[in-house]
A and B are shown apart, each in its own frame.
Chain A
Amino acid sequence: MALTKNKIVESVNELGFTKKKSVDIVETLLEIIKKSLESGEDVLVSGFGKFCVKQKSTRRGRNPATGEDLLLDERNVVTFKCSGKLREGINNRK
């Protein structure tokens, strides 16, 4: 079972917000994170990790299916760096 938005909404609901408000709050939080990354600003969460925006320059690539050469445009990608604390938690699971 995967953790989904729905489960997070349920936890917020348990704080005493209505179902509709809980959905609103979670969507607002996600939107804030997305807006920050969209503007090129990293999101750092101590104890969890950081979401960074990296600029990739143009490069020559190849279509793996056809073997055709093609030029990949420069683009921005989001990367995630796990915090030491989270990494430890994941590795200490038995």
Chain B
Amino acid sequence: MNKLELISALKKEADISKSEAAKIVQIFFDSMSDALTEGERIEIRGLCSFFVKNYKSYVGRNPKTGDKVMIKPKRLPFFKCGKELRERVNQ
């Protein structure tokens, strides 16, 4: 399911117009992107939580060639599945 399918499903199930559904889906993912960009945590009960993890620089290896490569410090979002979702995907 992609963003467009999400929008049409929301339009139908929430009984709103397509442009409203598109705006809301955009707000939802933009809010999450903005929060993570600011280094803020996200907690959506039942779905998931996210926080930004800082990784220090380290010497890694190119798995194909075995060459040593210097990996710069980086930040990545860390995803944690919510309890309800975890239980539901397991049924």
Q: Give A79-94 interface residues, CB cut-off 8 Å to B.
A: 79-80, 82, 86-87, 89-91, 93
Q: Give A20-71 interface residues, CB cut-off 8 Å to B.
A: 24-26, 28-34, 36-38, 40-49, 53
- CB < 8 Å: which of B2, B27, B77, B84 contacts A34? B84
On whether the beta carbons of A15 and B24 are closer than 8 Å, the reply is yes
On whether the beta carbons of B44 and A30 are closer than 8 Å, the reply is yes
What chain A residues lie within 8 Å of B86 (beta carbons)?
77-78
Most chain B CB within 10 A, of A8, A29, A45, is at A29
On whether the beta carbons of B37 and A89 are closer than 8 Å, the reply is yes
- CB < 8 Å: which of B29, B50, B77, B91 contacts A38? B91
How many residues in B have their beta carbons less than 8 Å from beta carbons of A?
A: 49
A interface, size bucket: 35 or more
- CB < 8 Å: which of A1, A2, A37, A89 contacts B85? A37
What chain B residues lie within 8 Å of A76 (beta carbons)?
89-90
A interface residues with partner B (beta carbon < 8 Å): 1-5, 7-8, 11-12, 15, 24-26, 28-34, 36-38, 40-49, 53, 75-80, 82, 86-87, 89-91, 93
